[in-house]
Structure 1
Amino acid sequence: MRFQEFEEHWEELILNDAVLMSSGGTPSMQRPEYWGGNIPFISASSMHDTVISNSHQYITIEGLKSGSKLIKKGNLLLLVRGSMLWKQIPICYNKVDVAFNQDVKGIVANDKTTSLFLLYWFKSKEAILKDMVTSTGIGAGKFDSNSLLSLSLLLPNKSEQSKISKTLWLIDERIQTQNKIIEELNVLKAAVTKRIFSGKLKFTDNRGNDFPKWEWKKLEDIGEFSGGGTPASSNSSFWSGNIPWISSSDLSENDIHSINITRFITESAIINSATKLFAAPVILIVSRVGVGKVAYSEKNLCTSQDFLNMHKFSCNGLFLTYLLSIEMKKAASSTQGTSIKGISSMEIKLKHIFLPCIAEQNKIADFLDTLDKKVDAESRVLQKLILQKQYLLQHLFI
C-alpha cells in the first residue's frame, strides 16, 4: 500500500546506517542534590505513551553530569531492558529534552531519515522485535544492541517518509484526544455518582417536586440470592452447549455492562454441578476471587461459585447495580491487607442500603446509563482509530 503520488523504489539499508544509538545512566539515589531538578528523567515507568513531554522523576544538571545522558527534543527513546518487553516494545518520541537511564537507548536519526518516520517504522516491526527479546536471567527481557542495529531498514524518499509519518502522527493525535474525552467522561461519571449516592445531588420529579426521602433497606428484603458453580472441566461434553457461563474474570472492574461471555455449557452440565441458570435480569456480585466486581445482565446465564447473584428484585435493577458497585468496592477495599478472602454471602444479604422511591430510582438509573452509553460510544470511536492505525502500520511499511 502506497500513496499514489509515489513510485520510486525504497532504499535498502540496515538500521545502523540511519541512526546513532546511545546508552543512558542513573545518578546516585544517595545524592539528593542530583534529584528534584527540572530535567525529566526517563525510565521504563515513563514510557507508556508514544509522546514524552514530562516524567514522574526529574534530575538536576549535577545529576546529569554525574552519570546520566541527555537527548535533545525531537528524537527517540527505546526500552532495551525490562519486564515490559515481554508484552510490548516501548518506543517514544521526546517533545522536550530529557535524560534517560541505562535500560533505555537514545536514538538520533541522521540525514537519511527522520525521527517520526523511524518511530512508526519501529511500531510496524513490533512482532519482529518481540521475537528478538531474550531473557536477562532474572525475569526481565533485553535486546542485543548489535542485533537491533543490524535490522533491515527500507527507506523511501524524504517526501514519502514525511507523508507516511504525518498521516500516522495525525491519527495518534486523534487517539490522544479521544483518550482524553473518555477519561474526562469517566471522571465526570465518578464525581456525579458519588454525589448522587451520598445524597448531595438531588433529583426532582417531572413537576419539579422533591421525591420522598430515601429509606434504609436490607438487601435480602428486596431480592433473592443464589450462588453459582463450575461444571467439571474434565468432561468436555459439559462445555459444548449454548448456555452462557461466566467466571469473575469475565467482568470489568469499572463497567457494570461489560460481561465477556466466551464459554457455553449444556443443560446436563447444570444438572450435574452446582451452577444454576439465572433468568434475566440478574445482578452479578463477585464475592470471592475478584471481589468487588458487580455487573448487570439482561441475558439468562450461569456463573461460577465466585458469585452471589441477586434476582427477582423489587426495585430498579440497574439502579441497584450502580449502588452495589460502589458498596462492594468499599467492602473489598476494607479486606485488603487482611487474611479475609472475599465477602461472605450472609454479610452481603444483611447489608443495609439507602433506597429512594422507584420513580427516583428510574431517573437515576436512566441518567447514569446515559453517561455509560456515551462512554461506550466514545470508546468505539477510539477502537476504530486504533484499528485504523494498526492497518496503516501493517501496510505502509514495505
Structure 2
Amino acid sequence: MKDRRSNSKGRDTLSTKKGHAALPVGWQCKPLGECADFMSGSTPSLNNAAFWSGEFPWVTARDMKALRIDSTARRISELGKAAAAVAPAQSVLVLTRGMTLFKDLPVCIAEREMAFNQDVKALIPASDLDASFLAYQLLANKREILQMVDTAGHGTGRLDTQLLKDLPFAFPSLPEQRRIARILATWDRALVNTERLIDKLHAEKNALMADLLTGTRRVSVRHKEAMDAA
C-alpha cells in the first residue's frame, strides 16, 4: 500500500509501507528487465573474409567512448550483418564483459542500426521509455552497477545480465523523461565545448611558451625597468 508524503523541499512523493525508497509522484519503479528487452551480441566468423571490410558498423568496447555513436573502427559486410546480432537505432549499448568494467561502465546510444559483439548487451527500451533517459539513468547508477561486476574465469570483468535485469529502475512519464534528457544533453554539449576550448588554450599556451622562452617572440621592456634590472 502506498501513502503520500512530502520531502524536505515540500514536494509530494510516494513511499511504500515496506520502507522502499520514496519516489516523486508520477514516477514508477520496475526491474530494468521489465523496462527494456536485452539482446546479446556476436562476432561473425573471423575466418570468413566475406563477412568483413564492409560498411556496416560493428560495435566493440573500443568504440564505446562517447554517449552517442554512429560509426565504429571495424565494419562488416551485408553478409556479415546477416550473421551478426543487430540492434535497432536508439538501442542503449552496455559493456558487460571486459577489463574496463573494473574501473568504468561504458554506456552509449546507437544512433543508427548497428551490430555488436558478445562483450556488449543491447537494451531496447519499451515504448514508455526514452533511450537517452535510460542511458543517463544507467550512468547515474554507475557506482551501484559496478559493484555487481565480478571476475570471469579468464580474469576479465563480467557484469551478470540477470543482476542488471533485476536492477530497480525509476522513471517518470515519457514527456518528462524526454525533457530531462534534453536538459542533460545540453550540459553534455557545454562540457564538450569547454573541453575543446581548454585543449585549444593549452595548445596556444605551449606555442607561446616555445616562442617566448627561445626569444622567437620578444616582449617590450621599458627603459626604467631595464635599468632597474641592471
Indicate whether the TM-score tops 0.5: yes
Deviation at 1:189, TM superposition (A): 6.8
Residue 39, structure 1, aligned to residue 61, structure 2: no
Give me the whole-angstrom Cα distance separating, in 1, the residues matched to 2:78 and 2:203: 37
Identity, in percent, stands at: 25
Higher strand share: 2
Which secondary structure does the structure 2 equivalent of 1:77 belong to?
Answer: strand
TM-score of the superposition, structure 2-length normalised? 0.77
Residue 85, structure 1, aligned to residue 101, structure 2: yes
1:254-278 deviation digits (Å, cap 9, x = unpaired)? xxxxxxxxxxxxxxxxxxxxxxxxx
Deviation at 1:186, TM superposition (A): 5.5
Deviation at 1:80, TM superposition (A): 0.3
Which of these residues, 55, 58, 70, is aligned with residue 86 of structure 2? 70
Deviation at 1:361, TM superposition (A): 6.0
Which of these residues, 122, 127, 130, is aligned with residue 106 of structure 1? 122
User: Mind listing any 5+ residue stretches in structure 1 that lack a counterpart?
Assistant: 198-202, 204-317, 320-355, 364-398
Paired AA for residue 33 in structure 1: A
Corresponding residue for residue 172 of structure 2 = 156
Give the aligned length: 201
Which of these residues, 122, 129, 135, is aligned with residue 119 of structure 1? 135
Deviation at 1:362, TM superposition (A): 4.9
Which secondary structure does the structure 1 equivalent of 2:137 belong to?
Answer: helix
Corresponding residue for residue 241 of structure 1 = none
Which of these residues, 145, 167, 172, is aligned with residue 183 of structure 2? 167
Give me the whole-angstrom Cα distance separating, in 2, the residues matched to 1:65 and 1:184: 44
Give me the whole-angstrom Cα distance separating, in 2, the residues matched to 1:38 and 1:62: 11
Deviation at 1:184, TM superposition (A): 4.9
Corresponding residue for residue 21 of structure 2 = none
Q: 1:186–1:55: structure 2 CA closer, same or farther, 3 Å change rule? A: farther
Deviation at 1:183, TM superposition (A): 4.3
Paired AA for residue 22 in structure 1: M
The answer to whether the 8 Å contact 2:38/2:123 transfers is yes
Paired AA for residue 139 in structure 1: G
Which secondary structure does the structure 2 equivalent of 1:37 belong to?
Answer: strand
Q: 1:60–1:128: structure 2 CA closer, same or farther, 3 Å change rule? A: same
TM-score of the superposition, structure 1-length normalised? 0.46
Deviation at 1:144, TM superposition (A): 1.0
Q: 1:37–1:150: structure 2 CA closer, same or farther, 3 Å change rule? A: same
Give me the whole-angstrom Cα distance separating, in 2, the residues matched to 1:142 and 1:134: 5
Residue 146, structure 1, aligned to residue 139, structure 2: no
Larger RCO, structure (CA 8 Å, separation 6 or more): 2
Paired AA for residue 156 in structure 1: P
Give me the whole-angstrom Cα distance separating, in 2, the residues matched to 1:69 and 1:103: 12
Corresponding residue for residue 75 of structure 2 = 58
Give me the whole-angstrom Cα distance separating, in 2, the residues matched to 1:21 and 1:179: 34
Which secondary structure does the structure 2 equivalent of 1:27 belong to?
Answer: coil
User: Mind listing any 5+ residue stretches in structure 2 that lack a counterpart?
Assistant: 1-6, 14-23, 220-230
